[in-house]
Amino acid sequence: MLDSASELEFSEEKATEDPSQLSSLELSGGTASSGKNAAGLPEKTGYPDSVYVMAANIFQGIRVEKSPGKVLIKYGNEPLPYSTEFEDESFQRLSYELAFSALKYQDILESILIDSYIFPSTTIPDHLNGLIIVMLYDFQDRKFQGRLLSDNEESIAEVLEVENLLNSFKTKLAAALARCRIKHDALSIYHILPETIRNQELRASTLPLYAWINTCKISPEEVYHSLKKKGYNKVESILHIDDKVFAVDQHCYDVLIFPSHLKSDLLNTDLFKDYKLIFQDKSRSLAVHSVKALLNMDDDILMVNTGSWYTVAHMSVLTNNNTSKIFVCGVQSQAKDPDLKNLFTKMGCKNIEILHETFINLESKDHRLQKVKVILLLPRCSGLGISNPVEFILNEHEDTGLLKDFSQGGTSEDKLHVLAQQQYEQLTHAMKFTRAQAIVYCTCSVYPEENEAVVKKALEFQDHGIKVQPYRLSPPVLPLCSLKEIHLSTDKFFRMEPSEITNGCFLSVLTRERDPSETVSVKDVLARAAAKGLLDGIELGKPSKREKKKKKSKTPLPKAPTADNNSVQMKIAEFLSRETNANANRSEALTTKTSLPQKNTNQVGSSPQVRKTNKPTTNPLAPTFMKNIPPARPYERLTNFVRPRPEDRMIALKPIEIVLPPVMLPFSSSQGIRSHVPTQQFYCRWVGPKTVMPGYLSTPSVPRSGEKPKDNLPSSLPRRPQPWL
């Protein structure tokens, strides 16, 4: 006690001033942190009796036990009786937050109780000492003001007894609190906490909220439209923005980000009440999206230590369009099955099957797991990568011992070793499932002993005796959105360090090595597709009619030699011999003609004068000579009698039989004409076809360079040939 009344007044003033500075201790997300209790009364009015009792029992299990020589207050081992009727989510959150706050200030609160002479002057049983600690923290947080009770609230005798005790020592408690603050030279007891805990609480109060879209019930576009109608604007980043805004996550396309101060407002919207938007830590969304990237249409999934049922629901929503089935193991109590099925039905999830066996007791030969290709392993971990342990415990159903580790700023070496051994055993057991092709390992820890060390050890000591390919470390299947993420993922691990925008996360993807002896042909792929019914009844292995005809045309049956074949061969040989002789006689006739003018040779063998004369020449003697000449076939293409140039491209053409018309030459008698008319039939190479009709003949014209030969032009009137001059 103080020596004078003035000192007492000073200490009381400081005591009443100090609790106002503890507002930074409030934990986001709870009713008390928003300044209201469960009944909606004004802020700083206290909690219901059931919350105090539940918080006292939680504190009893997580409190720091001291050595016998340093024990100031003895705590009993008997839990306080309380009704489970009020154990809904809001009451649990308030109880955990109150217990966690009392745990962080356990040493300070105990010293205040000793300094105020409550101990050892009172005769309260030891099992109520935990209740005294949690109620004292709330009492000083209310600036030592009385608690307001609702009319319909049932009182608990133990709570009333402790409350009366604290009210009777109100002045002494305030003075002891002031002396404690002066002793540590701190503005408030908040500044007495270690810096790591203070930084963690600051992050927890400003960390953005992450919510994934339930696409089974609503599309992302509809969510954006609904939020816009409620005054929310879509932005690229929500850092340091206090308005009603939201952004889309860069790693997960179905995850939205909101500022932390909007949680109470969002929870009152229909989007969250109807399970269209679900709050969850981003690390769980990263895990299920990694699994989704490794799946085929009909691959099953085995989820281990899922914690939150929202993680299972998110995995179900992502595979809603597949034929995949999700197996969830570790649900030991079958009494929870109706509640879980009801929850999944409300969320629109249909492909979930609950297994009551623990993962270690599951065998790879289980007939239910024969189609499991991907295993999602979310082992229990220290969880020190997160900022709000209360939310993590409530959402992921983690052990309350996590609160003790957070209050001390870290996990003990012994506990860390135990956790790492459990994680290693689960990972090696997952590798024994021979039909599985991939494992996704995800934690919220920042300790390498729980992350890289576990994965590398499991890969090193995996069983190579089984007749399957071993596992290897694969690169992340998530997009890397910054240079820092790329740097942190150089060793094929995906890491997110705790920051002002997200909690810490570690993720590793293990896949089986590809068998080098296994070669998959196109026929095998088509056969598998047909077996799955993806080819809509298309039959494989049977050649089509068109392919059969092609085969028949390409492979004709051999025929025995006959007399007809021999005659055909003789005719071909005779035709080739006659063609050779005709070409030789023609070249000799063209070179030895001295009586024919030079312009005639140009007319036949070259093109300069032909280009000048476009009209064909006719001869009046043509009708008498053509009586015995068979008409030329109109659809046969004629070839131009032009000597091929060496640089031209040689094209093999079919020989065509034509008869040149008689021409008028400057001779006196018809005998001279007959001597110059060739008696043999010519088989010529002809370019620039002209149609030859009965009754008239046209001279062939040589096309110009680069000019396309003209097609056959019909003529209505026969033209008689004009004599050459």
Judged by DSSP in three states, 688 sits in: coil
Dist CA 137 CA 143 (whole Å):
10
At position 454, the amino acid (one-letter code) is V
Dist CA 662 CA 617 (whole Å):
12
Find where tokens 């599309």 sit.
219
Dist CA 42 CA 37 (whole Å):
8
Dist CA 71 CA 110 (whole Å):
10
Dist CA 672 CA 24 (whole Å):
131
The CB density around residue 560, as the number of other CB atoms within 10 Å, is 5
Kindly write down the DSSP assignment for every residue of 658-676, as one continuous string: E-PPP---S-SSHHHHHHH
List Cβ neighbours of 34 (8 Å cut-off, separation of 6 or more): 264
| Burial classification of residue 39, based on how many CB atoms lie within 10 Å of its CB (0-12 exposed, 13-18 middle, 19 or more buried) | middle
Which residues is 512 bridged to in the sheet? 471
List Cβ neighbours of 158 (8 Å cut-off, separation of 6 or more): 53, 80, 128, 131
Tokens coding 15? 């005591």
**Active site annotation includes 505:** no
What Å distances lie between residue 195 and 97, 200, 384, 461, 501, CA to CA?
A: 20, 9, 15, 40, 20
Judged by DSSP in three states, 233 sits in: strand
Catalytic residue among 329, 349, 381, 444: 444
Find where tokens 């005659």 sit.
567
Find where tokens 């209310």 sit.
142
Dist CA 408 CA 412 (whole Å):
9
Give backbone dihedrals phi and psi of 296, rounded to 5 degrees, phi first: -95, 180
Q: How many residues does the chain have?
A: 725
Dist CA 423 CA 434 (whole Å):
19
The CB density around residue 554, as the number of other CB atoms within 10 Å, is 7
- How many Cα neighbours within 13 Å face the side chain of 333? 5
What Å distances lie between residue 637 and 57, 606, 618, 645, 691, CA to CA?
A: 108, 21, 21, 21, 8
* Cβ atoms of residues 145 and 44 within 8 Å: yes
Active site residues: 444
